Amino acid sequence: MLKFSQSNRKGMFAAAAATNLLLIGAAHAQAGKPSGMDNMLGMSGNASGAKSQTASAKGTVAAVDTGQHKVTFDHEPIPAIGWPAMHMEFAAAPSVDLSKVKPGEKVQFTLSGAKGSYTVQSITPSP
């Protein structure tokens, strides 16, 4: 049977605790949440359970990733879902033609989803 000194046991406990923290952080990172989404679940408008919501918003297109079918906006506040103005990436519905969306363009867009996970349903130029 192996015997460990008190200092060795403390060191092993510290190493195990550090490993657990790293694993928890890695699992959180693998969740793949877009930038800015980490705090969304606690915001008003997102505590309604799995009930789907639709919201309209205005913003400027910051980036378009046609390969991943995603678009990033610098958007104004979205009161319908309790979000402040932010820089966020969203997945776009298959029906949204991202080839017509250009960075720097001011747009209106609609989102649908729940619990901080929203998909862009439409994008139109803003007047």
pLDDT digits (tens, 9 = 90+) for 95-109: 999 999 999 999 999
Q: What is the CATH number of the domain that holds 67?
A: 2.40.50.320
In tens, the pLDDT along 118-127 reads: 999 999 999 8
Residue 65: partners with Cβ closer than 8 Å, 6 or more residues away: 71, 72, 89, 98
Q: What is the pLDDT of residue 116?
A: 79
- Number of helices and strands in the chain (H, E): 1, 5
Residues 53, 110 within the same domain: yes
Residues 18, 60 within the same domain: no
- The model's confidence at residue 7, banded by pLDDT at 50, 70 and 90, is low
Residues 59, 119 within the same domain: yes
Residues 113, 51 within the same domain: yes
In tens, the pLDDT along 9-33 reads: 555 544 444 444 444 443 333 333 3
Residues 51, 82 within the same domain: yes
Q: What is the pLDDT of residue 38?
A: 41
Predicted model pTM: 0.62
In tens, the pLDDT along 47-63 reads: 445 688 999 999 999 99
Return the closest-CA partner of residue 109 out of 28, 29, 16, 80.
80
Residue 69 has pLDDT above 50, yes or no: yes
Residues 53, 73 within the same domain: yes
- Average pLDDT of the residues in 86-100: 96
Residues 95, 48 within the same domain: yes
Domain range for 27: 1-31
Residues 26, 49 within the same domain: no
Return the closest-CA partner of residue 111 out of 88, 39, 63.
88
Residue 92 has pLDDT above 80, yes or no: yes
Residues 98, 116 within the same domain: yes
Return the closest-CA partner of residue 78 out of 48, 100, 53, 49.
53
